[in-house]
Amino acid sequence: MDPNNNSVAHGIYGGALYNSEAGTYKNFNIAIPNPKPAGKHLKIVLTWDSSPYESSDINELSDLDLSFQSNSQYYSSVSYESNVEIIDINASHLTAGSTYTAIVSPYTLRIPAGSYNGDHIYYSIAWTWVKDHAD
């Protein structure tokens, strides 16, 4: 599956982000099943391999962000202190049979000189329907 291409209800993608792609969005189309899975919500997880970047006395990771727009709400996960972003979306905020877009935003790519990756980091995004939490 390629970003900006097919729409699927469950998906996983792994790729690389290069220094030249800083500020470039990667879009992933998510198809909502009809009917929607009962008792479940949509979970989207983004993670990346990020070697610490050392500047003065601090170590900083590359910072990728994850966002999703449903019919009635905007969701985002924009932490800066880890290499994981997670969004949970209530099924009631989604329309069965529709397609939505999850967006990966490379806010800051920090790739140390001499990194084993060269000029890029690897990332992965996955989404699926998971059981709702008990109240």
Which pLDDT tens digit goes with each residue over 11-37?
Answer: 999 999 888 888 899 999 999 999 999
- pLDDT band at residue 101 under the 50/70/90 scheme: very high
**In the chain, pLDDT over 70 holds for what percent of residues?**
81
Give the CATH number for residue 21: 2.60.120.380
Residue 127 lies in a domain: yes
Q: What average pLDDT does the chain have? A: 85
Residue 41 lies in a domain: yes
Residue 50 lies in a domain: yes
DSSP for 61-128, please give it.
Answer: --EEEEEEE-SS-EEEE--SSSSEEEEEE-GGGS-TT-EEEEEEEEEE----TT-TTSSEEEEEEEEE
pTM of the model: 0.85
> Using one digit for the tens of pLDDT, what is the confidence trace for 35-60?
999 999 999 999 998 665 555 545 56
Give how far the C-alpha of residue 123 lies from the chain's centroid of Cα atoms, to the nearest Å: 9
Contact between 44 and 125 under an 8 Å Cβ cutoff? The reply is yes
Residue 1 lies in a domain: no
The residue segments making up the domain with residue 15 are: 7-131
């999850």: which residue's tokens? 102
User: Total domain count for the chain?
Assistant: 1
